[in-house]
A and B are shown apart, each in its own frame.
Chain A
């Protein structure tokens, strides 16, 4: 084993040990936040310290992420790839917003309220059309009982939620059908799905604590 591979092995072992130890300490700090006499335990303080460090690191990660975004689009312009005009626009906007933030730090939110928000609102509007179009294609893609139930439920909820032109609320839909579907059937189904998601979250966390999944050090 040469020196380089020995060093990378040591780094991988150390990063795994640090990650597992941090995970166990945070978990223990969450469960044993109080001593028997009701006072705050040392584990809770350690958990909060580690979480604060994680938040600082996440903030720094945003900076690295933006540099990576810059690199991706710069490379695209250099290679004159398809859509490089948009990459150029992105870089100009990025630099302009950064400079504006440096020159007028108190007014940088203007960029978000006048540019970002309207653009995102228009994308939300586009989403409405996309969803209607996708729903019409659903039966063509998967013609089965579940798809039919899905579409009929969506239609009943719409009829119970939005008043029809000239007719107003349909009797029975907004006061009986919609509440029954939304508050009884949907809640029961949602609880089942959420329990499954919670169990999945638990086992994913355990795999990371065991060091079987190591997204930080690269497991073989």
Chain B
């Protein structure tokens, strides 16, 4: 990477970070208004039902290894897990977390342990955060028994998946339970749209944290995404007009 390209990349990250901190301070003074995402509205209802009927929540984080760029969606899933573990801590049973990557499995155990420690209500069960397989289909095949046999009434599939996510949504459909699914992978998004009851499309998976009130920085990061999106749209439009005019 050339030094100028590096500086430009650093500039974008620095600008985004400054914007996020600025919006964090602004949002403390004014309440945030979100557009309606039906899937995330129903998620809150499903979590409420989990606590009421004493069933379990199942969260699957996909198989995006932490050393790859695909880990971001799983990290967003882990942030959501932390919040949902808090919300369900008054319930009878802790959430189950399945993943197709060993580092994610360890992080999910750590997140569940932290939730149990801070809530002082739920006991920590190390087997609740599990690695179910290391290849796409073995991961899906290993996660299906968790959906089927462990008194699960709501499933959240959030992370890096491939087409194997259809096996998971099919298992959920057979159990007639709630499923919310989202992925950063385009193929998986198409599959999820066709198969899941509540699909999250595009960057909606990164908005989930803000919608379940994970913290003010989640809200600020959502606003940063919106601002940057408008900037990109403006740059694309200006670029297209300049190309039409023969300048570029």
Contact = CB atoms under 8 A, between A and B. Distances in A.
A180 interface: no
Interface SS of chain B = helix
Given A126-B167, A141-B197, A68 B203 contact: no
B202 A34 contact: no
Contact of A215 (B65, B78, B148): B78
Interface stretch (B25-33, B130-138, B237-245): B130-138
Interface SS of chain A = helix
Contact of A124 (B130, B137, B186, B215): B137
Interface string A156-195: 0000000000000000000000000000000000101111
B23 to A, nearest CB: 11
A214 to B, nearest CB: 8
Contact of A31 (B7, B110, B170, B184): B7
B162 to A, nearest CB: 10
Contacts of A127: 163-164, 166-167
Interface range for B: 35 or more
Given A203-B20, A207-B221, A134 B195 contact: yes
Contacts of A201: 69, 72-73, 184, 206
Interface string B21-60: 0000000000000000000000000000000000000000
Given A54-B67, A203-B20, A216 B110 contact: yes
Contact of A196 (B148, B197, B229): B229
Contact of B194 (A55, A135, A215): A135
A218 B107 CA distance: 9
A204 B158 CA distance: 14
Contacts of A116: 135, 138
A113 interface: no
Nearest to B66: A58
Given A131-B195, A207-B218, A83 B145 contact: yes
A140 to B, nearest CB: 12
Contacts of B10: 28, 31-32
A36 B2 CA distance: 9
A212 interface: yes
A184 B3 CA distance: 34
A201 B193 CA distance: 21
Contacts, number: 216
A35 B3 CA distance: 7
A98 interface: no
Nearest to B207: A200
- Which one of A32, A33, A68, A220 has the greatest number of beta carbons of chain B within 10 Å? A68
B17 A218 contact: no
B152 to A, nearest CB: 13
Contacts of B110: 215-218
24 contacts: A31-B13, A58-B66, A68-B126, A68-B129, A69-B130, A71-B126, A75-B127, A81-B149, A86-B145, A123-B137, A124-B163, A131-B191, A131-B194, A137-B173, A150-B193, A196-B229, A197-B184, A200-B72, A204-B79, A205-B72, A208-B75, A215-B75, A216-B107, A218-B115
Interface of B: 1-3, 6-7, 9-10, 12-13, 16-17, 20, 65-67, 69, 72-73, 75-76, 78-79, 82, 101-103, 105-107, 109-111, 113-115, 117-118, 126-127, 129-132, 134-138, 140-142, 145, 148-149, 163-164, 166-167, 169-170, 173, 184, 186, 189, 191, 193-195, 197, 201-203, 205-207, 209, 215, 217-218, 221-222, 224-225, 228-229, 232
Given A63-B102, A201-B184, A202-B228, 12 more contacts: A31-B9, A33-B6, A34-B2, A34-B6, A62-B102, A120-B138, A123-B140, A193-B201, A202-B12, A206-B13, A213-B75, A215-B111
Interface of A: 27-28, 30-36, 51, 54-55, 57-58, 61-66, 68-69, 71-72, 75, 81-83, 86, 116, 119-120, 123-124, 126-127, 130-131, 133-135, 137-138, 141, 150, 190, 192-197, 199-210, 212-213, 215-220
